[in-house]
Amino acid sequence: MKLKLTPVPGSIVAPQGFLAAGVFCDIKRLGTGKGSNKGKKRDLTLIVSQTEATVAGMFTTNQICAAPVKVCVPRVAKGIAQAIVVNSGNANACTGRQGMRDALAMTAATEQALGIAPGRALVGSTGRIGVLLPLKNVQTGIHAAAKQLGTTPTHADQAAEAIMTSDSRSKQIAVEFLLSGKKVRLGGICKGAGMIQPGMSDTGARPAAVPAGLHATMLCFITTDAAIEAAVLQTALREAVAHSFNRITVDGDMSTNDTVLVMANGQAGNRLIRQTKKSSATTAPFKCFQAALQHVCLELARMIVRDGEGVHRVVTVRVSGAQSAADADAAARAVANSSLVKTSWHGGDPNWGRIIDALGYSPAVVVEDRVDIGYSTPGSRRVAWSLRRGQPTRTPFATLWKAVQPQEFDLHIRLNLGRGEALMYAADLTEKYVDFNKGTLADPSQAASLGG
Amino acid sequence: MKLKLTPVPGSIVAPQGFLAAGVFCDIKRLGTGKGSNKGKKRDLTLIVSQTEATVAGMFTTNQICAAPVKVCVPRVAKGIAQAIVVNSGNANACTGRQGMRDALAMTAATEQALGIAPGRALVGSTGRIGVLLPLKNVQTGIHAAAKQLGTTPTHADQAAEAIMTSDSRSKQIAVEFLLSGKKVRLGGICKGAGMIQPGMSDTGARPAAVPAGLHATMLCFITTDAAIEAAVLQTALREAVAHSFNRITVDGDMSTNDTVLVMANGQAGNRLIRQTKKSSATTAPFKCFQAALQHVCLELARMIVRDGEGVHRVVTVRVSGAQSAADADAAARAVANSSLVKTSWHGGDPNWGRIIDALGYSPAVVVEDRVDIGYSTPGSRRVAWSLRRGQPTRTPFATLWKAVQPQEFDLHIRLNLGRGEALMYAADLTEKYVDFNKGTLADPSQAASLGG
């Protein structure tokens, strides 16, 4: 199997049969939170398939989860959808029964405006926690968006803009590849920035053992014209998210709203990828599709880290030689979320003491005189080792210092105890992050809300 | 039992039969790390009992632990000591076999300079990780300190100063109380500032289940003239640390060097507190002593948080109603270490959305419509509730805002699911913390070291 992915414009409207729109309906200014609207920024997105699509989703495992997540989980489980409606500026989280009614009202308004079957619309929200949605505005926005749907890259741009909160730029990608001789496209948009360390599962239920570090609102919406059964699509997405969105951290905080949704409408005309008696994961078309989906998820996930709140440097933490995969994951997360390590990255300081300290307090088994720590530029095989078997190397300081100056670098950690591997796409901790999130209120009497 | 604690001056030299000194021997300028020495700051402390004392200790559970910790654990286990030597500016961590030889050389030089029995000196270090000690300087310092030992408050002040790294002020306390009709004194000094979330145990070994958040260098040295058996002293200290140093966090990073040591020389002449057939914990003198020790530990622990790197606000996180004590601890640590919660404290923003978000991703069981969140000023019984049973209250925003403006306030979280309780003494996250720790090197070619 050889997979060639060709970039194409238009992100979510690149695949056949998908339309999108992003409009302004005045949600943000009602909150005082992140992304408050001063300039009439777009705040409502609609993504629609001309025909019914199979669907898969991954959702936050935070026990406090938002109404739109609660609405989506059972709908995605049915495997069919035709539209996604998303608002920014208000998370519709911790909003009780009224929040659930509002999320359902969003899907109902979408289904009505588009003339699609009840239960076929999905919903996402991001923004301030604990404030009721301005539902009238949202409903007006849905009807306006339904009238503006289109298939040009501008439509995709506006849809990608309208899901942004503290994001400084929109995040989009689309690729084309061949499946059983047919051209298939996959496109996606996403938003991130703060409260970013997703730990998503199929149903939002926690795995039996909650990984120690699992802790953004990140939203991602993917479209494809591939023909693929819902159950197989879910398998592909689960794997793709495990290697992308669930591997990123900006600030170690897991949001109440994290959601990834994929709609597949089959309009590319490839032979249907279906569950077979032997594992579907072994068929060539599935492998191709899964690899393409994972590529799209990973590119979007990395855009979130690069555009994280206040982020200056992005570091790929590569742990190998752990006693187990779980140990590798725990070690990588401890390092990726250590305030002292993150501030040293910000300073461009090749400090290894804070790294080995974080490894030592992580739940992973670590033996001091086995630990190697080094740096490389992304894509380069040349690692500048600062520590080998627990001992400082003779690598000149200037070499190590130079290795951590670029805006992106790789941190290599070898525990030399086994074969467990893990990586995390992580960010530094800057004064700008603190300043942005301290949220000092100039005039507290004007605050409309107290949430996220 | 009624315990009356009277504050007395002199901290570690307040109890009968203890001497101290703090000198400058030029350790710090050899590192480029925290607390680099520009003004010949004292960097070596000696604490000595005139007579042999019983001893107890608690040590970091970080798997990467410093040479002085490795030297102390077996010596403390023997239950007898007479002196403690401590240097600042160099952690003697990740220094391999030479580090162990250096730590032992420090104890040997101390025993020789004081003329005490071999094995009776204990050692502590704090500062840069991964750099060998300038042993000659240290040895010269030990001999100088031995000549300067004394019992005046100035001697204690100098000892407390010489263990400081990034601390902005020294931390000292002493109290007097009655035990079997005799006046007994307890005094202590400590240092902290960054890399602060201790998780200490008797031997540095991890408990079977590592608590989720267990993650400073903090050092604390306590003296008392009480007569108490070593095993009983260890029981008292374990309990005291569990309710003080192990309940604080500045940045969530657990150090390689965390150490608390207590020497008890019996010179007060109280009836020996000993292990009895029934649990010693039930006798009145033990209870008095334990309460006094816990008071000293807690006051010192809180001084560490208040003087944490860049810390502006100190918040006591009080969790109650958890399903278990472990759940309460996990919930309190998730909130106390959330970057988003900590930045909101810095901003004086009574944001509850980030708090409930952190509760939701913690390992503790949390049910959204049971959660209460509120604020009070320390010592006040009046709580301003912002969330009751998952719903925003009608408490005016101005009231909530006012509650989080003081430099110290209490955060009350009731999970309403059981009887588990826990508290954490936590700190905000400020631009100053980031700026201090980014450690930008103006001239990397001058860096002598790469560690902590």
Across B335-356, average pLDDT = 92
Whether B450 has its CB under 8 Å from any CB of chain A: the answer is yes
CA angle B156, B236, B194 (to 5 degrees): 55
Kindly identify which residue of chain B lies nearest to residue A338, measuring between CA atoms: B253
Sequence letter at residue B110: T
**Which of A340, A390, A451 lies at the smallest CB-CB distance from B437?**
A340
Q: Tell if the CB–CB gap between B64 and A433 is shorter than 8 Å.
A: no
CATH superfamily for domain A314-429: ArgJ beta chain, C-terminal domain (3.10.20.340)
The tokens for B183 are 């006046």
CB B81 within 8 A of CB B119: no
The tokens for A340 are 């002292």
Indicate the helix (H) or strand (E) that contains B322: strand B314-322
Using the predicted structure, report yes or no on whether residue B277 has a pLDDT greater than 50: yes
Would you state the pLDDT for residue A277? 66
Kindly identify which residue of chain B lies nearest to residue A350, measuring between CA atoms: B450
- A430 chain-B contacts, CB cut-off 8 A: 434
Task: In whole angstroms, give the CA distance from residue B7 to residue B288.
Answer: 16
* Chain B stretch 103-132, residues whose beta carbon is closer than 8 A to a beta carbon of chain A: 128-130
* Neighbouring residues of B182: CB distance < 8 A, sequence distance ≥ 6: B268, B269, B270
Task: Tell me, letter by letter, the H, E, C secondary structure of chain A.
Answer: CCCCCEECCCHHHCCCCEEEEEECCCCHHHCCCCCCCCCCCCCEEEEEEEEEEEEEEEEECCCCCCHHHHHHHHHHHHCEEEEEEEEEEECCCCCHHHHHHHHHHHHHHHHHHHCCCCCCEEEEEEEECCCCCCHHHHHHHHHHHHHHCECCHHHHHHHHHHCCCCCCCCEEEEEEEEECCEEEEEEEEEECCCCCCCCEECCCCCCCCCCCCCCCCCEEEEEECCCECHHHHHHHHHHHHHCCHHHECCCCCCCCCCEEEEEECCCCCCCCECCCCCCHHHCHHHHHHHHHHHHHHHHHHHHHHHCCCCCCCEEEEEEEEECCHHHHHHHHHHHHCCHHHHHHHHCCCCCCHHHHHHHHHCCCCCCHHHCEEEEECCCCCCCEEEEECCEECCCCHHHHHHHCCCCEEEEEEECCCCCEEEEEEEECCCHHHHHHHHCCCCCHHHCCCCCC
Q: pLDDT, tens digit, for every residue of B127-150?
A: 888 889 999 999 999 999 999 999
More confident residue, B200 or A323: A323
Widest CA span in chain A? 69
Give B301's DSSP letter: H
Q: pLDDT, tens digit, for every residue of A371-422?
A: 999 999 887 889 999 999 999 999 999 999 999 999 999 999 999 999 999 9
Q: Tell if the CB–CB gap between B450 and A252 is shorter than 8 Å.
A: no
Proportion of chain A above pLDDT 90, given as a percent: 74
Strand, helix or coil at B128? strand
Q: pLDDT, tens digit, for every residue of B407-432?
A: 999 999 999 999 999 999 999 999 98
**Which of B350, B359, B361 lies at the smallest CB-CB distance from A214?**
B361
Sequence letter at residue B316: T
Closest CA to B261 of B94, B128, B79, B3: B79
Kindly identify which residue of chain B lies nearest to residue A129, measuring between CA atoms: B353
- B365 chain-A contacts, CB cut-off 8 A: 63
CB A427 within 8 A of CB A314: yes
* Chain B stretch 288-327, residues whose beta carbon is closer than 8 A to a beta carbon of chain A: none
- A389 chain-B contacts, CB cut-off 8 A: none
CB B409 within 8 A of CB B378: yes
**Which of A359, A391, A429 lies at the smallest CB-CB distance from B64?**
A359
Would you state the pLDDT for residue A442? 41
Using the predicted structure, report yes or no on whether residue B33 has a pLDDT greater than 80: no
Question: Across the strands, what pairs with A176?
Answer: A6, A185
Using the predicted structure, report yes or no on whether residue B9 has a pLDDT greater than 80: yes
Backbone dihedral region of B50: left (phi > 0), alpha (psi from -120 to 50 degrees) or beta? alpha
Task: In whole angstroms, give the CA distance from residue A223 to residue B382.
Answer: 53
Q: Is A195 exposed, middle or buried (0-12, 13-18, 19+ CB in 10 A)?
A: buried
Using the predicted structure, report yes or no on whether residue B61 has a pLDDT greater than 80: yes
CA distance A275 to chain B (A): 34
Whether B32 has its CB under 8 Å from any CB of chain A: the answer is no
CB B240 within 8 A of CB B293: yes
* Chain B stretch 326-365, residues whose beta carbon is closer than 8 A to a beta carbon of chain A: 334, 338-340, 343-344, 346-354, 356-361, 363, 365
- A61 chain-B contacts, CB cut-off 8 A: 361
Q: Tell if the CB–CB gap between B368 and A94 is shorter than 8 Å.
A: yes
- For every one of its 452 residues, what pLDDT tens digit does chain A have, with 9 covering 90 and above? 578 999 999 999 999 999 999 999 998 764 444 444 456 889 999 999 999 999 999 999 899 999 999 999 999 999 999 999 999 999 999 999 999 999 999 999 999 999 999 999 999 999 888 889 999 999 999 999 999 999 999 999 999 999 998 888 999 999 999 998 999 999 999 998 777 666 677 766 655 443 322 334 889 999 999 999 999 999 999 999 999 999 998 888 888 899 999 999 999 999 999 977 666 556 889 999 999 999 999 999 999 999 988 899 999 999 999 999 999 999 999 999 999 999 999 999 998 999 999 999 999 999 999 999 999 988 788 999 999 999 999 999 999 999 999 999 999 999 999 999 999 999 999 998 888 888 654 434 434 333 33
Active site residues of A: 217
Q: Where are the domains of chain B?
A: 6-306, 314-429
Closest CA to B227 of B186, B175, B190, B188: B186
Indicate the helix (H) or strand (E) that contains B156: helix B153-162
Would you state the pLDDT for residue B165? 87
Supply the mean pLDDT for chain B: 89
**Chain A, chain B: beta-carbon pairs less than 8 Å apart:** 242
* Neighbouring residues of A147: CB distance < 8 A, sequence distance ≥ 6: none
Task: In whole angstroms, give the CA distance from residue A169 to residue B323.
Answer: 43
Would you state the pLDDT for residue B206? 59
Q: Tell if the CB–CB gap between B451 and A351 is shorter than 8 Å.
A: yes
- A349 chain-B contacts, CB cut-off 8 A: 438-441
**Which of B369, B430, B451 lies at the smallest CB-CB distance from A434?**
B430
The CATH classification number of A6-306 equals 3.60.70.12
Whether A215 has its CB under 8 Å from any CB of chain B: the answer is yes
Active site residues of B: 217
pTM to 2 decimals? 0.88
Residue with tokens 């390590």: A341
Whether B51 has its CB under 8 Å from any CB of chain A: the answer is no
- A357 chain-B contacts, CB cut-off 8 A: 62, 64, 129, 195, 253-256, 452
CA distance A83 to chain B (A): 28
> Which residue, among A70, A361, A387, A399, would best test binding to B if mutated, counting the most B CBs under 10 Å from its CB?
A361
Would you state the pLDDT for residue B443? 39
Backbone dihedral region of A368: left (phi > 0), alpha (psi from -120 to 50 degrees) or beta? alpha
Kindly identify which residue of chain A lies nearest to residue B195, measuring between CA atoms: A340
* Neighbouring residues of A134: CB distance < 8 A, sequence distance ≥ 6: A26, A27, A30, A90
Whether B389 has its CB under 8 Å from any CB of chain A: the answer is no
Strand, helix or coil at B382? coil
Here the ipTM equals 0.86
Task: In whole angstroms, give the CA distance from residue B224 to residue B18.
Answer: 8
Task: In whole angstroms, give the CA distance from residue A132 to residue B68.
Answer: 56
Indicate the helix (H) or strand (E) that contains B422: strand B420-427
More confident residue, B287 or B451: B287
Closest CA to A314 of A384, A404, A189: A404
Whether B207 has its CB under 8 Å from any CB of chain A: the answer is no
- A398 chain-B contacts, CB cut-off 8 A: 444-445
Using the predicted structure, report yes or no on whether residue B448 has a pLDDT greater than 80: no
CA angle B333, B336, B342 (to 5 degrees): 155
